[in-house]
Chain A
Amino acid sequence: MNVGSFNIKVKEKAPIHGWNIDRIKKKLLGAGKTDGLLKKLITYALLLGIGFVYLYPLMFMIVNSLMDVSDLVNPTVRWVPTRMYFGNYRIAYKVLDASKTFGVSLVMAGLPALFQTACCAVVGYGFARFEFPLKRLWMLLLVITFIIPGQVTMVPRYMLFDAYGMINTPLPSMIPALLGQGIKSTIFVLVFYQFFHSYPKVLDEAGEIDGAGKLKIFLKIALPMSVPAIVVAFLFSFVWYWNETYLAGIFFGKTIQTLPMRLQSFVDSYNRLYPTSDGSAVNRLNESIRMAGTMLTIVPMLLMYTVLQKQFVESVDRAGITGE
């Protein structure tokens, strides 16, 4: 602390008459390593501008979801509602059937994410630590798997699940995850591959000398070290499974409904709950209610993000995805 204040004092004492053109230029444009003021200003302006574009839909959503009907139709009310109105949330909560769907979403995202992480760790370790024939071929197929869109394999997968009576059960989401064919599994296998590839083999050998089997080495030495990769794989899987609706809608759309899936059929569910056949405008669905519904589906993710923001944002550095 003392050192810091000392430094500031020195800066303040800098003579003002020394501000000639050269110094101003240096300050504005920067010299050598230090960025100039001008560059900083431009950077901040750009970042703020882009940041605004990023946050705009979110702010729009929050503000609109808090408006009551009179605010919504009032053209003078745009960003600040005259009062905080939570009625939209109450209605949206009911329409989404959130008390039930929230738990369903949690399970339908959590379990596959867990399975996917586990499988990708094992497979990544296998690719990174062992030499075996056809290894390059399998790795090539691994990358190709990433490129093949879900739409191509979707129909035969459906027929397969249908043949075993798994449609409308959670299994079509769990089993592929367990066998490394879940959402973007390739990425996670490669993350683990990269991770296990880069840590010293000596540790494995030490375990081997002490008489541990390969499986034991994996469980006791490799796995505890790969916590950053595990966190990355689990969190991303969780988010991607939470937000997945396309395949889910086909494989178990009618019986298992997650929050985003309910949001998809929001208008229909609303009309069923609040029929407007009597012609009154009281119950009509408006954008405030829809925005409230959208907010409700993303709030769990937002909350998680505020807590675990660092894990996500620093994930790429930590798991060394870009390491070539």
Chain B
Amino acid sequence: MKGKKPGTISIRQKNAITGYLFILPWILGFILFTGFPFFYSIFLSFSSVKIAPTGIQTRWIGIGNYVQAFTKDVNFPVALSDSFIFVLLSTPMIVVASLIMAMLLNGKFRGRTIFRAIFFLPVIIISGPVISELLTNNAAQIVNPSKYTVYKVFSTLPEAIGAPVLYVFDNLVMILWFSGVQILIFLASLQKIDGSIYEAARIDGASSWEIFWKIVLPYLKPVIMVNAIYTVVEMSGFPNNRVNMEISKNMFLIGNVYSYSAAQSWIYFSAELLLLGVVFLLFREKKKRWKR
């Protein structure tokens, strides 16, 4: 196998060529549908676009679109902060909730498969229109949370502490409905922990509480990062986000087709990157891991 005849290419080169042939569709697609659009939308966001009978005319206008988004547009800043807070608050909630549920499901007990099936169900049916139908018809508001004393206690607390908690109460169904995939990922990695580690810890006198903090959580750290990234991407891409609605609405804005919504999408993307950066800083390890 290893012999190399003069005049022929080596096996290594041959392998490299076949490898490239296999990933060629993806490279093509990446250039066409991600790479080029990515840079072109940067260019668009700094231009003004006019559709003339001869074709599309772009004119460089600098940061005009960005200025417009923050100063002249009435809806966009509100929508942006709305969506940002939505993602910012719901991501930790979803990650924590899905971790708790994965821990609950991890043991061996009767009805485990049924519960797992129920918790995963929303992933199958969730879509923009279904969620908005549920919201407009009050189906997602499980109980009126303001009735309960807990809610009232938290609403008397200072804004910084109380607001996130109240947010959880108000969006309980949403948070749970978005955690299906995350639960599965946590569950799969929990099951990979070798049982003998627990046993050894127990012999050393560790309680379940200590085992969770000292063994399970450090082990799950990279998985938590993966889940957090997934959640941020998923939540910020959800079509019901107000920003996303703004962006698609402004795509055909008269007088500034394409370019204004490109600028908006870039502002939003920067905000999303900020969140992802925070996630990455929080959970990074000394050695970078890109694998899921």
A residues whose Cβ falls under 8 Å from a Cβ of B: 32-33, 35, 40, 43-44, 46-47, 50-51, 53-58, 60-61, 64, 119, 122-123, 125-127, 129-133, 135, 138-143, 145-160, 175-176, 178-181, 187, 189-190, 194, 208, 214, 218, 239, 242-246, 249-250, 260-261, 263-264, 266, 287, 290-291, 293-294, 297-298, 301-302, 304-305, 309-310, 312-313, 315-317, 321-322, 324
Q: Say yes or no: A155 contacts B127, CB within 8 Å.
A: no
Closest Cβ of chain B to A314, distance in Å, is 9
Q: Say yes or no: B236 contacts A149, CB within 8 Å.
A: yes
* A218–B25 CA distance with the chains assembled, in angstroms: 16
User: In the complex, which of the residues A148, A150, A246 contacts B128, with contact meaning CB atoms closer than 8 Å?
Assistant: A246
Contact of B229 with A by CB under 8 A: yes
Chain B residue nearest to A209 in the complex (CB):
B1
Q: Determine the chain B residues whose CB is within 8 A of the CB of A151 once the complex forms.
A: 237, 243-244, 247-248, 265, 268-269
Closest Cβ of chain B to A88, distance in Å, is 12
Contact of B107 with A by CB under 8 A: yes
Q: Determine the chain B residues whose CB is within 8 A of the CB of A154 once the complex forms.
A: 37, 247-248, 251, 265
* A280–B15 CA distance with the chains assembled, in angstroms: 74
Q: How many residues of B contact A (CB 8 A)?
A: 99
Q: Say yes or no: B139 contacts A261, CB within 8 Å.
A: no
- Given A143-B290, A145-B34, A321-B292, residue A181 in contact with residue B29 (CB < 8 A): yes
For window 219-274 of B, CB contacts with A under 8 Å fall at 222-223, 226, 229, 233, 236-237, 239, 243-244, 247-248, 251, 258, 261-262, 265-266, 268-269, 272-273
Q: Say yes or no: B29 contacts A150, CB within 8 Å.
A: no
Chain A residue nearest to B192 in the complex (CB):
A322
Q: Determine the chain A residues whose CB is within 8 A of the CB of B127 once the complex forms.
A: 242-245, 260, 297
* A305–B268 CA distance with the chains assembled, in angstroms: 34
User: In the complex, which of the residues A47, A316, A324 contacts B187, with contact meaning CB atoms closer than 8 Å?
Assistant: A316
Q: Determine the chain B residues whose CB is within 8 A of the CB of A158 once the complex forms.
A: 251, 258
Contact of B116 with A by CB under 8 A: yes
Q: Say yes or no: B251 contacts A153, CB within 8 Å.
A: no
Q: Say yes or no: A129 contacts B172, CB within 8 Å.
A: no
Q: Determine the chain B residues whose CB is within 8 A of the CB of A57 once the complex forms.
A: 134, 139-140, 173, 177
Q: Determine the chain B residues whose CB is within 8 A of the CB of A214 once the complex forms.
A: 18, 22
